[in-house]
């Protein structure tokens, strides 16, 4: 399988033969010794022949691409099997309590993440969309993974691994942090959202768009 926009390899399986494409030198350098070295290339110009691999994935990377239709077309070209994309459906971001403290997040995300119908158009009319439930004990560092652990977002080390915060105005960021901290201290957050602390999964904007070939 080929992983396009592979980054540090966080989502790559260990029970498959994996090839990886990643244009960022910094991200390639962060790949662990156990991961395959990533090829220096972009999603828009994948250096493989037609039907060269059994499957292609693009996981949390579409918002980094310069040309979405071309990148998706390249994924279809080189795969003789499934094409799987993991992304966020920006239209569902408002389902998450975070928008109460940072409503500006919606505009930031909608500017970055492509519309799901654009992704489907790039993969083909027969593509499907499936919401991905996030487990309460999710160890990944994306924002929604902390749906039941709001205190974690007050930690600057946690936020440092999430690109959202660097895109917010510092005044907006600090205002939201203060409001969240106050609501946690007063118990207001738990009054409204405390059920999430024991909810096994949360189904929000995370989704898979895929096509079988």
Domain CATH number, residue 180: 3.40.50.150
Domain membership of residue 163 (yes or no) is yes
Domain membership of residue 180 (yes or no) is yes
Q: What is the 3-state secondary structure (H, E, C) of the chain?
A: CEEECCCCCCCCCCCCCCEEECCCHHHHHCCCCCCCCCECCCHHHCCCCCCCECCEEEECCHHHCCCHHHHHHHHHHHECCCEEEEEECHHHHHHCCHHHHCCHHHHHHHHHCCCHHHHHHHHCCCCEEEEEEEECCCCCCCHHHHCCCHHHHHCHHHHHCCHHHHHCCHHHHHHHHHHHHHHHHHCHHHHHHHHHHHCCEEEEEEEEEEECC
What local confidence, expressed as pLDDT, does residue 213 receive?
77
Domain that holds residue 155: 91-112+133-204
Query: Mean pLDDT, to the nearest integer, of 55-62?
Result: 95
Query: Mean pLDDT, to the nearest integer, of 149-175?
Result: 93
What local confidence, expressed as pLDDT, does residue 209 receive?
97
pLDDT more than 70, % of the chain: 100
Domain membership of residue 30 (yes or no) is no
Domain membership of residue 101 (yes or no) is yes
Domain membership of residue 7 (yes or no) is no
Domain membership of residue 188 (yes or no) is yes
Domain membership of residue 100 (yes or no) is yes
Domain membership of residue 46 (yes or no) is no
Query: How many structural domains are present in the chain?
Result: 1
Query: Mean pLDDT, to the nearest integer, of 191-209?
Result: 95
């Amino acid at each position: 399988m080929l992983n396009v926009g592979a980054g540090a390899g966080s989502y790559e399986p260990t029970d498959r033969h994996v090839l990886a494409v990643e244009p960022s030198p910094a991200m390639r350098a962060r790949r662990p010794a156990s991961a395959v070295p990533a090829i220096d290339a972009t999603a828009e110009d994948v250096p493989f022949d037609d039907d060269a691999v059994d499957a292609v994935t693009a996981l949390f990377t579409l918002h980094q691409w310069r040309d979405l239709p071309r990148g998706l077309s390249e994924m279809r070209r080189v795969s003789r099997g499934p094409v799987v994309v993991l992304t966020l459906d920006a239209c569902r971001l408002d389902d998450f309590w975070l928008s109460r403290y940072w409503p500006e997040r919606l505009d930031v995300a909608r500017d970055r993440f492509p519309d799901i119908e654009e992704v489907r158009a790039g993969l083909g009319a027969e593509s499907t969309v499936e919401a991905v439930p996030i487990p309460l004990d999710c160890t990944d560092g994306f924002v929604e993974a902390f749906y039941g652990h709001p205190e974690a977002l007050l930690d600057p080390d946690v936020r440092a691994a999430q690109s959202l915060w660097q895109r917010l105005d510092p005044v907006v960021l600090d205002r939201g942090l203060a409001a969240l901290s106050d609501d946690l201290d007063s118990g207001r957050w738990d009054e409204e959202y405390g059920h999430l602390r024991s909810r096994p999964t949360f189904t929000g904007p995370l989704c898979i768009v895929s096509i079988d070939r």
